[in-house]
Amino acid sequence: MTDPKLLITKFYDLNFGIYFDACEDLRWVKIFTSNSIHEEYNNHALVYSLTSGSESKLQTIENYLKKLNLTPAVYIAPFSKPQNISFRLEKEFGYSASYVDAWMIFDNNQNISDWDSKEQVVHIGQDKQLFAEFEKISNLGYSGEKTSENPYGGVPMEGFITAAKLALSNSSLINRIEGYLVKIQSQYVACAILLHDREFGYICNVATIPSFRGHGFGKTISLYATGRSKYLGNKTTFLATESGTPNEKFYNNIGYRTEFIGSCYIKIKK
């Protein structure tokens, strides 16, 4: 099993300067924030230890995020202490679970046949027209209500899209981020982003236009991004998706395995 602390640290490293813009390191917690994204997905406190002074420490987190007009949110990983902190957040401190991540790693022993011969996959590069297609697919792919079948339904995508477009158009980040689209005839139908550092690759922003789901385009773009990550020299390729949903089963079926679970909690407004 991959060390959760190593993988989560790599996640923030890969995302920093793209989807995260600032980090306040207090040793017992790291508070990450984003200039473009305003939801808890990219504005939260990664907890290392709330073992002593839990209430005052949570108050520090809440004050910091409230000053930025952000909803207080904490992320609990397998290494977060104490072990019962998730229970206490809900029962003692007025927090509610927002989302539960299944952190998944691709099994490098599996061969991805012909991943680079997918003629329908297009690199976004710095093409403004393709930026627009990426925006369209992302908005449609994350639309609708949140359900077990559509765990990211209703997630506001404007901030994620803005951050991705800024990064893709930034020449200094060309070796850290790539974007891909699936094109069928004249229609772009699916997208994905790969963040990498030639050691770890992280796949995100995977989406398919709802009317084109069920035809294998999500699988095509996901396996292409995975194959591309391996081609670029990344020894580990990983992603995070909503635990216990068809998304997790989908990635399991194409070669990913769940390594551990992480959960985000937000402060309930009184």
pLDDT at position 150 is 82
Are residues 220 and 126 both part of a single domain? yes
Predicted confidence (pLDDT) per residue in 85-138, tens digit: 999 999 999 999 999 999 999 988 888 877 877 779 999 999 999 999 999 999
Query: Are 190 and 143 within one domain?
Result: yes
Assess whether 200 and 124 both reside in one domain. Answer: yes
Residue 9: what pLDDT?
A: 98
pTM of the model: 0.95
Could you tell me the strand order of the sheet in which 44-49 lies? 22-25, 29-33, 44-49, 73-81, 256-267, 95-106, 236-242, 200-208, 187-196, 177-184, 121-123
**142 shares its domain with 220:** yes
Q: Are residues 125 and 206 located together in one domain of the fold?
A: yes
Residue 129 lies in a domain: yes
* Residue pLDDT, tens place only, 222-256: 999 999 999 999 999 999 999 999 999 999 999 99
Residue 22 lies in a domain: yes
Domain contains 266: no
Please name the residue ranges forming H helices in 16-69.
Answer: 54-67
Token pair belonging to 97 = 């679970």
From the CB of residue 109, how many other CB atoms can be counted at a distance below 10 Å?
6
Task: List own/partner pairs for 244-253 with CB under 8 A and 24 or more apart.
Answer: 244/100, 244/102, 244/148, 245/148, 245/149, 245/151, 246/148, 246/149, 247/151, 248/102, 248/104, 250/218, 250/219, 251/104, 251/222, 252/104
Q: What is the pLDDT of residue 114?
A: 79
Final residue of a domain: which of 105, 139, 163?
105
Average pLDDT, whole number, for the chain? Answer: 95
Beta strands in the chain (DSSP E): 22-25, 29-33, 44-49, 73-81, 95-106, 121-123, 177-184, 187-196, 200-208, 236-242, 256-267
Total domains in the fold of the chain: 2
- Does residue 250 sit within a domain? no
Domain of 151 in residue numbering reads as: 115-234
The last residue of a domain, from among 76, 105, 134: 105
143 and 215 together in one domain? yes
Exposure letters 58-86 (e unless 16+ CB within 10 A, then b): bebbbebbeeeebbbbbbbbeebeeeebb
Domain end among 57, 73, 105: 105
- 101 and 119 both lie in a single domain: no
CATH number reported for the structural domain that contains residue 168 in this entry: 3.40.630.30
Q: Would residue 163 count as lying in a domain?
A: yes
> Is 260 domain-assigned?
no
Query: Is 165 a domain residue?
Result: yes
Asked if residue 87 is part of any domain, the answer here is: yes
| pLDDT surpasses 90 at 70 | yes
